[in-house]
Amino acid sequence: MASDEEFYDACETFEQLNCTEPAVEQTPRIFFTDTALNQNSHQKIVDFAEYKTDVSLPASKMELFSWTTLNLAKKTNKEVKEFSGLEIIQTINLSSNSKRNWILKFSPDSKYLALAGESSIITLFKVVGHLSEKSPNIFDNPEEYKGHEQSIVSISWNIDSEHFLSCGIDCLVLLWKIGFTIPIRQFLHDNIVTCIGFNPLNSNIFYSGTLGKKIFLWTVNEGILENTYQTQGLITAGSYSNNGSLMAIGLSNGECIIYEVNNAVLTFITQVHCRNRKGLKSGGKKVTGIEFHDDQYLLITTNDSRIRLYSLENFSLLQKYKGGKCNEYPLQTTFSHNSVHIIRGSEDGNTYIWNTFKTNPKRRWSSLFTSSTKNNGYEYFTISKDKTLCNSIFGSSDLVKKVQNDYLLTGSEIIISHIILTTSNQKLYVLYNQFKNVPW
């Protein structure tokens, strides 16, 4: 007998037979597949091509920018468009090769953006000091940070916004300082490192998780391994909670382990099953992204193209988001600055945006056929015609406030509700969304 989730999926599929969905193209598999997960060594070194970074913007936009209202966003199972005012403000050429980027990470003070992925190089962008409607470029010339030998999997910023960690499939964790383009310290592991994070309460402690099924707790200044914890599955993602009291570790089978944190000591609390109870997907897919929010919610992204929102009060499932394609790459989902929306890129070339808690559009079928947690209403937009990997995040609250204040000081009447950063087809795009809701 089919599970409840499969039953709801079947009902939604039947209802949407006449709906037009964005085209999906097969995407090549990369290192983060089951084959790579079973590797136990790091002897093979990938020879990456030269990675050149160049900031460019058409001359017409550099002289005088004008809003074109391109109407980039489309909607599915929503009554109102909330992103009808999207506009590409800045386009940055990253390289001429085929390197893909799945890491976009702002520093806590929102002054820097770290970008990384398939290349072994981290690109760091600095937010410019002053913006205006006529001169909207948000980033200055970037710096390249070189130290890894292979693809980079995760980046974590220290609370001081002056240091950050990176890890990759070369089995290294590297510590960086802003202004120094080579690492100031390295932490060698005996397996591929898939996640890292500074302790929010004690920046001298960080954790690392590996495909060797182990969690390591380190001291930064002393470079000492304080504790090691074994897991039952291959570790593929992890994160501290905002207040540093919890840690969530995602596994390759869709499980997510929750620990209580006390400096370098972890205590098991519970385990969350991010997978269907029955059916073809009951075996679970890799957890690729974990994000805590306001110490109330836990947002988990998995390689079954699903995103799940859990309550931290009782770890119950609150929302299950459906849309886009995320089967191979380590994509993550993030909250908007006001917590109203979540965003994730996709392997079909689109960016998808959901309401954190679903609205209730009119449906032809009664609620009898609708799961209370299922959220398949979203907006999406496509920048590049090439259906390649697309990664997207929202700009932080501090960044939105800075841009809006700069605009107001120059007499602009534009109200910016969101800032979105998107990587696609070897380019980084900065988009602003003017505030307006459109019921079409």
Q: What is the pLDDT of residue 9?
A: 53
Model pLDDT, residue 212: 97
pLDDT tens digits for 280-327?
A: 666 688 999 999 998 899 999 999 999 999 999 999 999 999 999 999
The per-residue pLDDT for 140 is 85
Instruction: Give CA–CA dist 237/250, Å, rounded.
Output: 5
Nearest to 271 by CA among 290, 255, 288: 255
- pLDDT of res. 205: 98
The two tokens of residue 162 are 């002056």
For residue 108, give the DSSP letter.
T
- Does residue 8 register a pLDDT over 50? no
Q: Which of 114, 267, 263 is nearest to 199 (CA)?
A: 263
Residue 275 in this model has a pLDDT that exceeds 90? no
Q: Answer whether residue 34 shows pLDDT above 50.
A: no
- pLDDT at position 414, please? 86
Any idea what DSSP says for residue 18? T
Which candidate, 436, 318, 403, places its Cα nearest to that of 129?
403
Domains of the chain: 4-434 (2.130.10.10)
Kindly tell me if the per-residue pLDDT of 409 is higher than 60: yes
Tens digit of each residue's pLDDT (9 = 90 or more) over 200-233: 999 999 999 999 999 999 999 999 999 999 999 9
Which pLDDT tens digit goes with each residue over 49-81? Answer: 222 333 333 333 333 445 555 568 899 999 889
Q: Give the chain's length.
A: 440
The edge-to-edge listing of strands for the beta sheet with 334-335 is: 74-76, 378-382, 350-355, 341-344, 334-335
Task: Return the pLDDT at 282.
Answer: 61
- Of the pLDDT bands very low, low, confident and very high (cuts 50, 70, 90), residue 385 is confident
pLDDT at 150: 95
Confidence band of 31 (pLDDT split at 50, 70, 90): very low
Quick one: pLDDT at residue 434?
86
**What per-residue confidence (pLDDT) applies to 130?**
80
Q: What is the pLDDT of residue 362?
A: 53
Q: What single letter denotes the amino acid at residue 122?
A: I
Band (pLDDT 50/70/90 cuts) for residue 37 is: very low
Mean pLDDT of the chain, nearest integer: 83
Q: What is the pLDDT of residue 52?
A: 30
**Which has more pLDDT, 18 or 236?**
236
pLDDT value at 98 more than 70: no
pLDDT tens-digit profile of 353-376?
999 998 765 555 545 555 678 999
Q: What is the DSSP letter of 120?
A: S
Phi, psi (5° rounding) for residue 438?
-125, 120
Residue 241 confidence class, pLDDT cut points 50, 70, 90: very high
Highest mean pLDDT among 8-12, 36-40, 134-138: 134-138
- The two tokens of residue 430 are 């900065």
pLDDT at position 337, please?
94
In angstroms, rounded to a whole number, what is the distance separating the alpha carbons of residues 134 and 128? Answer: 14
Judge whether residue 345 has pLDDT over 70.
yes
The pLDDT, as a whole number, for residue 340 is 96
Share of the chain above pLDDT 70, in %: 78
40, pLDDT greater than 80: no
pLDDT, residue 438, reads 52
DSSP code of residue 279: S
Pair of tokens at residue 104: 């976009």
Beta-bridged to residue 317, according to DSSP, are: 310
- Which residues on adjacent β-strands are paired with residue 205? 219
For residue range 425-440, list pLDDT tens digits in order.
889 999 999 876 555 4
pLDDT value of residue 67: 54
Q: Among 89-103, 274-288, 332-346, which stretch is predicted with the lowest mean pLDDT?
A: 274-288
**C-alpha span between 224 and 26 (Å, rounded):** 44
